[in-house]
Amino acid sequence: MSTAPQVATPTEPADQAHPAVGAATSLLDAYTPGDRFLATPGRTLLARGPGRDVPYDDRPLSARVDATLAAAAAAGQESPVVMGAIPFDHAAPAALSVPDSVRTAPPLASDPLVALPASAPSAGEWRIQQVPEPDIYGKGVASAVERMWRGEFSKVVLARTLELTSGAPLDLPAMLQRLARRDPAGYTFALPTGPGRTLIGASPELLVSRRGSRVVANPLAGSTPRSADLAEDVRRAATLLESVKDLHEHAVVVDAVHQALAPYCTELTVPARPTLIRTATMWHLSTTVTGALASPDASALELACALHPTPAVCGTPTQTARRVIAETEPFDRGFFTGMVGWGDADGDGEWVVTIRCADAEERTLRLYAGAGVVAASEPEAETAETAAKFRTFLTAVGAEL
């Protein structure tokens, strides 16, 4: 018998019980290209200025970040924070910096002014190129399914991209406003990744957060598009909660998260069944894993690096899935399915899976979307899932696929 879908929002309580009206949206309104903006269910952050870039060398990433934070503190900076993006391939350079100063506010969702609508996208023309084309993507899915039936691996996440070119320069502040106001309870970001380049998006998925000894992870796997019709939307949500394929896919990811966090924790709580979370465009199966750290030495970033990449963005076994991705996807993922977030010198922080995002440069946007492919997958369904995930960003820029 079907049950009504449960909807969970894995957020931590706001830092202020009664935050000032406009405190968070004022930071959103103040964003200009080149700034670092990150809004999470716990806080809103805006950093401006060059700061100290985390170096790229042979040391582990967490060690390089710790050293950069320590150098900032030694130079007299009070409560330094690292912010930025880490690519899917940990061996590639990250775009992380310790800004000279960071303005903070309570979460966007707690600010009543976030309910005010953003301005509508301009009526400009977009030239859209699909890479790969949908039929080529479908063939890649079919090939992966065939290899799974031969026993080579059990899951792979395959992505495709849309390359959008505008006749006018990109209006990043307007895009950020639309993304943030459409899903204010999610994780919205705009982070510089190179000269003239910005990673911008609105992710629903927390990889891991640490606050003191408390650890929270929120793996998402298994999804279905929303419907504008309320009855159909509820039916889709209920169907997702009972989908054997999606429940199996989700269980694989939750087990991987459990196994990765267990060495760091004295206790872990893993619910037996997932609930649902929703964005403006998608329903997702969701499990909130909570735990207590065994040692204060493990920072949020160290935990994130231990978890990443989960089967939700890569596949399993991990190394085999990485090879299949490299063989199948005709592009470099870059920061897509990497991590964005923040961390402080005490080890606290939040790191988010980089999905529902785009690389922005001058007049060009490259959008990314992926789908988890298992033995029961059908090419048409996975292609449709990626198309639905593109809607988050297409809506923000007024483009149609």
Q: What are phi and psi of 383, to 5 degrees?
A: -65, -40
| Residue 17 predicted with pLDDT over 80 | no
| The two structure tokens encoding residue 241 | 């909660």
User: 0.85 exceeded by the pTM?
Assistant: yes
Mean pLDDT in residue range 158-169: 95
Alpha-carbon distances, residue 204 vs 151, 163, 364 (angstroms):
32, 22, 24
Report the pLDDT value the prediction gives residue 19, as an integer from 0 to 100: 59
| Residue 16 predicted with pLDDT over 60 | no
Mean pLDDT in residue range 79-102: 95
Q: What are phi and psi of 291, to 5 degrees?
A: -155, 175
Report the pLDDT value the prediction gives residue 13, as an integer from 0 to 100: 39
Report the pLDDT value the prediction gives residue 401, as an integer from 0 to 100: 82
Q: Is 187 helix (H, G, I), strand (E, B) or coil?
A: strand
| The two structure tokens encoding residue 173 | 């502040």
| Residue 180 predicted with pLDDT over 70 | yes
Q: What is the DSSP string of 194-248?
A: ETTEEEEEEE--EEEEEETTEEEE--EEEEEE--SSHHHHHHHHHHHHH-HHHHH
Residues annotated as catalytic (active site), given as ranges: 155, 205
Q: Cα(134)–Cα(360) distance, rounded to whole angstroms? A: 23
Cβ-Cβ contacts under 8 Å for 179 (sequence gap 6 or more): 188, 200, 201, 202, 392, 393, 396
Please report, to the nearest 10 degrees, the dihedral formed by the alpha carbons of residues 194, 198, 200, 205 taken in order: 0
Mean pLDDT in residue range 80-88: 97
188-242 pLDDT per residue, tens: 999 999 999 999 999 999 999 999 999 999 999 999 999 999 999 999 999 999 9
* 372 contacts 355 by C-beta, under 8 angstroms: no
Q: Cα(132)–Cα(138) distance, rounded to whole angstroms? A: 9
Report the pLDDT value the prediction gives residue 6, as an integer from 0 to 100: 39
Mean of per-residue pLDDT scores for the chain:
92
